[in-house]
Structure 1
Amino acid sequence: MNYLLQLVIILLLTKLGAHLSNRLNFPSVIGELLVGVIAGPAVLHILTPDTFTHYFSEIGVIVLMFIAGLEGNLSLLMKYWKPALTVATLGVIFPTMSAALLCVYVFDFAWSTALFLGLILSATSVSITVQVLKEMGRMNTREGAIILGAAVADDIMCVILLGICVSLFGSGAAAQQQSAWGMAWPKILFFILMLALGKWFVPRFISFFNKLNASENETTAAMILCFGFAAIAVLLGMSDVLGAYFAGLAISETKFKESLALKVEPIGYAIFIPVFFVSIGLNITFKGMQNDIIFIILLIIIAVLGKQVGGAIGAKFFGLTWDESNVVGAGMVSRGEMALVVANVALTANLIDKNHYTAMIVVTVITTLIAPLILKLFIQRTVKHGEKQSTTEINDQAP
Structure 2
Amino acid sequence: MTHDFISLAIIGLIAAVAPFIANLIPKKPVPETVLLLAGGAVLGPHMVNVIWLDESVSLLSDLGCAMLFLLAGYEINPKTITGREGKRGLATWGITLALAFVAVHAFTGISANGLDGLAVTIALTTTAIGALMPILKERGLMGTRMGSSILSYGTWGELGPVIAMALLLSTRATWLTVAILAAFIVVAVLVARFGHRTARKEGPIRDILFAGRDTTSQTFVRLTMLLLIVLVAVSSLFDLDIVLGAFAAGFILRYIIPKDDEVLEKKLNSIGYGFLIPLFFVVSGARIDLTAVAAQPALLVGFIAMLVLIRAMPIFISMARDKDPEVAALGARNHAAVAVYCTTALPLIVAVTSVAVNGGAMDASTASVFVSAGALTMLIMPLVAQLMYKAAETRPVKWLEKE
1:97 correspondence with 2:86:
no
The answer to whether the 8 A contact 1:60-1:275 is kept is yes
- Within 5 Å, give how 1:295-374 maps onto structure 2: 295-319=299-323, 320=327, 321-347=331-357, 352-354=361-363, 357-374=364-381
1:255 correspondence with 2:261:
no
Structure 2 unmatched runs, 5+ = 200-204, 396-403
The answer to whether the 8 A contact 1:96-1:122 is kept is no
- Within 5 Å, give how 1:1-399 maps onto structure 2: 2-24=3-25, 25=28, 26-79=30-83, 80-103=85-108, 107=109, 109-110=110-111, 112-113=113-114, 115-116=117-118, 117-140=120-143, 141-146=147-152, 147-162=154-169, 174=171, 178-202=172-196, 204=198, 207=206, 210=209, 215-253=217-255, 254-255=257-258, 257-289=261-293, 292-319=296-323, 320=327, 321-347=331-357, 352-354=361-363, 357-384=364-391, 386=393
* Bigger shift: residues 141-150 or 199-208: 199-208
Structure 1 unmatched runs, 5+ = 164-173, 390-399
Task: Give aligned pairs, total.
Answer: 368
Per-residue CA distance 1:190-222 (angstroms, 9 max, x = gap): 223323322333552683750676711111111
Tell me what 1:392 maps to: none
The answer to whether the 8 A contact 1:29-1:277 is kept is yes
* Bigger shift: residues 53-62 or 227-236: 227-236
**CA shift for structure 1 position 111:** 5.1
**CA shift for structure 1 position 143:** 1.8
Give the alignment's TM-score, normalised by structure 2. 0.80
The answer to whether the 8 A contact 2:97-2:121 is kept is no
The answer to whether the 8 A contact 2:316-2:338 is kept is yes
**CA shift for structure 1 position 337:** 4.5
Q: Residues 5 and 343 (structure 1 numbering): CA distance in 2 closer, same or farther, change over 3 Å? A: closer
Identity across the alignment (%): 18
What SS class does the counterpart of residue 301 from structure 1 fall into?
A: helix
CA-based RMSD = 3.0
**CA shift for structure 1 position 288:** 4.5
**CA shift for structure 1 position 385:** 5.3
The answer to whether the 8 A contact 1:229-1:246 is kept is yes
AA partner of residue 89 (structure 1): G
* Bigger shift: residues 141-150 or 112-121: 112-121
Give the ranges of 4+ consecutive aligned residues of structure 1 lying more than 4 Å apart after TM superposition: 211-214, 288-291, 347-350
**CA shift for structure 1 position 353:** 4.4
Per-residue CA distance 1:202-252 (angstroms, 9 max, x = gap): 552683750676711111111111222222333344322232222222222
The answer to whether the 8 A contact 2:37-2:284 is kept is yes
Distance 1:281 1:18 in 2: 17
AA partner of residue 118 (structure 1): T
What SS class does the counterpart of residue 255 from structure 1 fall into?
A: coil
What SS class does the counterpart of residue 191 from structure 2 fall into?
A: helix
**CA shift for structure 1 position 40:** 1.8
The answer to whether the 8 A contact 1:60-1:274 is kept is yes
Distance 2:341 2:267 in 1: 27
**CA shift for structure 1 position 372:** 4.3
Distance 1:128 1:22 in 2: 19
Distance 1:14 1:71 in 2: 23
Q: Residues 384 and 226 (structure 1 numbering): CA distance in 2 closer, same or farther, change over 3 Å? A: same
Distance 1:288 1:268 in 2: 31
Per-residue CA distance 1:53-74 (angstroms, 9 max, x = gap): 2111111111122122223322
The answer to whether the 8 A contact 1:33-1:369 is kept is no
The answer to whether the 8 A contact 1:119-1:162 is kept is no
Per-residue CA distance 1:291-344 (angstroms, 9 max, x = gap): 544334322321343222233333434343433433432333344444344334
**CA shift for structure 1 position 380:** 4.9
The answer to whether the 8 A contact 1:99-1:302 is kept is no
Per-residue CA distance 1:149-197 (angstroms, 9 max, x = gap): 442134223433435xxxxxxxxxx4xxx22222222122222332332
The answer to whether the 8 A contact 2:101-2:112 is kept is no
AA partner of residue 189 (structure 1): A
What SS class does the counterpart of residue 169 from structure 2 fall into?
A: helix
The answer to whether the 8 A contact 1:97-1:115 is kept is no
Give the alignment's TM-score, normalised by structure 1. 0.80
The answer to whether the 8 A contact 1:229-1:247 is kept is yes
What SS class does the counterpart of residue 140 from structure 2 fall into?
A: coil
